[in-house]
A and B are shown apart, each in its own frame.
Chain A
Amino acid sequence: MTDTERLLEQAGERWRAGQRTPPEIDPAIFSPDTPGARWRASFTALSVVGALVLVVVATMQLGRSPESGPAAVGGTPPSPSAAEPSVADSSAPADATCDVTRPTPAFVPPSPNPAEPPAYYGSAWYGTPALWTMLDRNGETWEHLPIGSDGLSQKTFWWSTDWVPEADPEPAITVVGSRLDGPGTFTVGPGTNASADFGTAMLVGVTVPTPGCWRLTGTYLDASLSIVVLVKGD
């Protein structure tokens, strides 16, 4: 064993020794009466309409490329596709009809940016060199968000090869939100900067007025990038 390994093992042992014992598992959290399960039960009861919507959506999806890549980079965002729910669908459960954007194909930024986010985010880059963001590999579902008087708060992170943090610490990036399954819009900007283990990003804090299925369009310089996220209000 090398000295470095010894130091690491000793530090790890000390750290583990300082950890509190985790609380005992309460099986009640696995009960069918937990909120999540209650929601699923409601979903089941309502799923006749929902299932029909899903069938229609799935059928329509067959006609479009599911891996078509980022939407509207360097141009204006597209109009809502036929597969996206309209206001008329607002009574359906949001995540049954919300076609969240998945980062497929994953975008690989040019060096020196990391080729992919740290693994424990379970995410991938999505976009183009002009503007990209980080998305959960299964699409973004935001839940347990802080709730304020104006809505639910979340941070969004964006990167661009055209952005120089030192020269432009408060980039003129905007994020426009448009709810796809009901009424609602918001616009925020400019951004600020944030550094973490994924590098330095343009940070835009958004306040989503209501839970639902939302399209977010980030615009920086001449580039735009649209994503669809599901916002839960639990």
Chain B
Amino acid sequence: MPDTPEGFADWIRPHLPAMARLAARLAPDGDRDDVVQEALTRAWQKRRQFDVTRGTPAAWLLAITADRARQARRRRSDAWLPAEVAGRVRSHDERLDVEYAVARLPPRQRLAVDCFYFVGLSVADTAAVMRCSEGTVKSTLSDARQRLRPMLEVPE
């Protein structure tokens, strides 16, 4: 683990895009860069706690980012209200339909879908964010797809 600011920045840089995507997905609009900034500062403060035998740098950084995103959601009053998705309606835009359906998944299924399909994390990194096993991630994704199928009007 680099112990200089420049070395630490270099160490984190490859993971920055995934951290930013995760923050954008889990935190309210507009808070992404704040969440990333807080996660970077937090990671620097906790750098001596990183243990490579317990997980990859990506998993560690993403878990910190998810935690900061959680804090950001808590600070934002509008993030707590279902109105964040209530304004969307079914449309001819397939993208909106998928977002609409994903927003109505149970929380853990939605989190798995957000991490795996939208943020683009691996199953292992998704498991780190969800604090569960890779097998649980896979089964949760399977359950989510099962639930989404009728909402997306995909034939059996």
Which residues does A use to contact B, with CB under 8 Å? 2-5, 7-12, 14-16, 19-23, 25-31, 34, 36-37, 114, 118-123, 144-146, 155, 194-198, 203
Contact = CB atoms under 8 A, between A and B. Distances in A.
Contacts, number: 130
Nearest to B154: A3
B1 interface: no
A25 B12 contact: yes
A12 B120 contact: yes
B107 A198 contact: yes
A30 B154 contact: no
Which of B117, B119, B129 counts the most A-chain CB atoms under 10 A from its CB?
B117
Contacts of A37: 45
Nearest to B99: A11
B40 A7 contact: no
Which of B6, B26, B94, B118 counts the most A-chain CB atoms under 10 A from its CB?
B118
B20 interface: yes
Contact of A119 (B19, B94, B102, B132): B132
B82 interface: yes
Given A9-B117, A36-B45, A119 B33 contact: no
Nearest to A137: B131
Given A8-B98, A25-B12, A16 B120 contact: yes
B50 interface: no
Given A30-B8, A30-B41, A31-B5, 8 more contacts: A4-B149, A7-B94, A9-B117, A27-B5, A29-B40, A30-B40, A119-B129, A119-B132
A10 to B, nearest CB: 8
21 contacts: A2-B154, A4-B152, A8-B102, A9-B117, A10-B94, A16-B119, A19-B24, A22-B16, A25-B13, A27-B6, A28-B5, A31-B5, A36-B45, A37-B45, A119-B129, A119-B131, A119-B132, A120-B67, A123-B70, A144-B38, A196-B81
Contacts of B19: 22
Given A11-B98, A28-B5, A31-B5, A145 B110 contact: no
A119 B62 CA distance: 13
B123 interface: no
Contact of B16 (A25, A29, A31, A203): A25
Contact of A27 (B8, B45, B79, B95): B8
A54 B80 CA distance: 37
B111 A7 contact: no
A196 B74 CA distance: 11
